[in-house]
């Protein structure tokens, strides 16, 4: 009797072939809202809603994956009288959809409400009237039963690997950047192939505790699955020691026990979704701690510059994520 040779363990993830652009922006299809509710932990200065859309009977049905995005075409015309363009939203549902059958997808939408800020030299510098984002507020205003024009899906890299048990996971989110993880964590822990045994750490960065999104869901999952760990980083509130909560990279810097057990491990995949500033902070931290090898490649032009001097523009040009680092930052 001879033993089968052990399969070689791949450290780089193999990603699935995700469907792309089945519905083009020029020919959107009609979806119908099935749920629209706040997904914030408490009363806050911002408004974020979980919106579910039935896409059954359209090419999107059964053909989207957690981690991908879909498009929404708001009604009406833009300020120059042209039809509104499509806007992309992260899919917040698992690959099997909200309904388990791939018919209903969802997203996490924050109302864009701001003061007008000049964007180009042509804009009046004194303008500071209320600015209300068109598509986010359109989506958040929709009622159950309303129709909405949708497109997609899109995105082929911010995905879970085909052999999920081969890896552990560090999911980093700021604000609505949490959306894809709602689906991915559900795929890993509650998908048809049973819960993975991998270690999963989800780190959510928000301004205030009231801004935590899907907080109950994460707490329930952490209760149920000992391999799922939920961490919150609240930038504008104080820690018990009187320090500010800070940003995600400050948290990772403090969590020394995660450095060897998770970040240094070549099984680990790191995902970042949210503000671009998070990518800079995390890349600088990894480089400073000598933990960056598996996640980033620094080109020669920046190799001799101290990471504390990197900025968003220089990392965009000279630092590349590896196959173990997935980015969706804006
Ligand atoms: P803060 O606003 O206190 O500076 P938002 O809800 O606006 O998307 O923000 C989500 C969280 O991301 C907030 O805690 C915000 O902090 C934080 N944040 C802002 N800039 C960065 C950055 N450069 N790196 C990481 N987190 C950031």
- Backbone region of residue 145 per phi and psi (left: phi > 0; alpha: psi in -120 to 50; beta: other values): left
3-state SS, residue 304: coil
**Predicted local confidence at residue 1, as pLDDT:** 45
Give the residue extent of every domain in the chain.
Answer: 29-154, 164-329
Q: State if residue 247 touches ligand 1 by the CB under 6 angstroms criterion.
A: yes
**Predicted local confidence at residue 304, as pLDDT:** 94
Ligand 1 mean position, distance from CA 172 (Å): 12
Contact 198, 168 (CB under 8 A): yes
Ligand 1 mean position, distance from CA 43 (Å): 18
Q: State if residue 235 touches ligand 1 by the CB under 6 angstroms criterion.
A: yes
**Predicted local confidence at residue 8, as pLDDT:** 52
pLDDT in tens, 36-49: 999 999 999 999 99
Q: Which residue has the tokens 């009609």?
A: 30
pLDDT, mean over the chain: 95
Which of 39, 108, 136, 174 gets mutated to test ligand 1 (max ligand atoms within 8 A of its CB)?
174
**Predicted local confidence at residue 193, as pLDDT:** 82
Find all residues with CB under 8 Å of 146, minimum gap 6, and list them.
32, 33
Contact 158, 181 (CB under 8 A): no
Domain 29-154 fold: Elongation Factor Tu (Ef-tu); domain 3 (2.40.30)
* Residues lower than pLDDT 50 in the chain: 1
Q: Which two three-digit tokens encode residue 119?
A: 């964007």
Q: Which atom of ligand 1 is nearest to the CA of 207?
A: 14
Q: Does domain 164-329 have CATH number 3.40.50.80?
A: yes
pLDDT in tens, 214-251: 999 999 999 999 999 999 999 999 988 998 999 999 99
Cis peptide before 153 (omega within 30 of 0): yes
Cα–Cα distance between 121 and 125 in angstroms, integer?
Answer: 8
């Amino acid at each position: 009797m001879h033993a089968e040779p052990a399969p070689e363990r791949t450290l780089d993830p193999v990603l699935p072939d995700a469907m792309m652009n089945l519905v083009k922006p020029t020919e959107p299809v009609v979806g119908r809202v099935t749920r629209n509710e706040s997904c914030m932990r408490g009363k806050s200065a911002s408004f974020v809603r979980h919106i579910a859309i039935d896409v059954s009977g359209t090419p999107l049905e059964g053909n989207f994956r957690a981690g991908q995005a879909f498009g929404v075409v708001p009604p009406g015309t833009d300020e120059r009288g042209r039809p509104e363009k499509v806007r992309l939203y992260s899919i917040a549902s698992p690959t099997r959809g909200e309904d388990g059958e791939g018919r209903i997808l969802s997203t996490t939408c924050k109302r864009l409400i701001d003061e007008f800020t000049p964007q180009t030299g042509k804009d009046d510098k004194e303008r500071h009237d209320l600015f209300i984002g068109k598509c986010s507020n359109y989506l958040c205003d929709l009622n159950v039963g309303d129709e909405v024009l949708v497109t997609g899906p899109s995105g082929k890299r911010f995905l879970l690997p085909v052999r999920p048990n081969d890896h552990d996971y560090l999911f980093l989110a700021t604000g609505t950047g949490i959306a894809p993880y709602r689906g991915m964590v559900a795929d890993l822990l509650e998908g048809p192939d049973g819960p993975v045994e991998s270690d999963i750490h989800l780190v959510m960065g928000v301004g205030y505790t009231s801004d935590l999104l899907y907080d109950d869901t994460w707490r329930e999952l952490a209760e149920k699955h000992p391999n799922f760990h939920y961490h919150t980083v609240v930038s504008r509130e104080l820690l018990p020691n009187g320090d500010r909560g800070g940003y995600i990279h400050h948290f990772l810097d403090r969590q020394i026990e995660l450095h060897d057990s998770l970040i240094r491990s070549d099984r680990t995949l790191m995902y970042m979704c949210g503000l671009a500033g998070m990518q800079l902070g995390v890349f600088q931290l990894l480089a400073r701690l000598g933990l960056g090898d598996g996640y980033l490649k620094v080109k020669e032009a920046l190799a001799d510059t101290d990471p504390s001097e990197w900025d968003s523009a220089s990392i965009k040009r000279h630092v590349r994520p590896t196959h173990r680092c997935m980015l969706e930052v804006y």
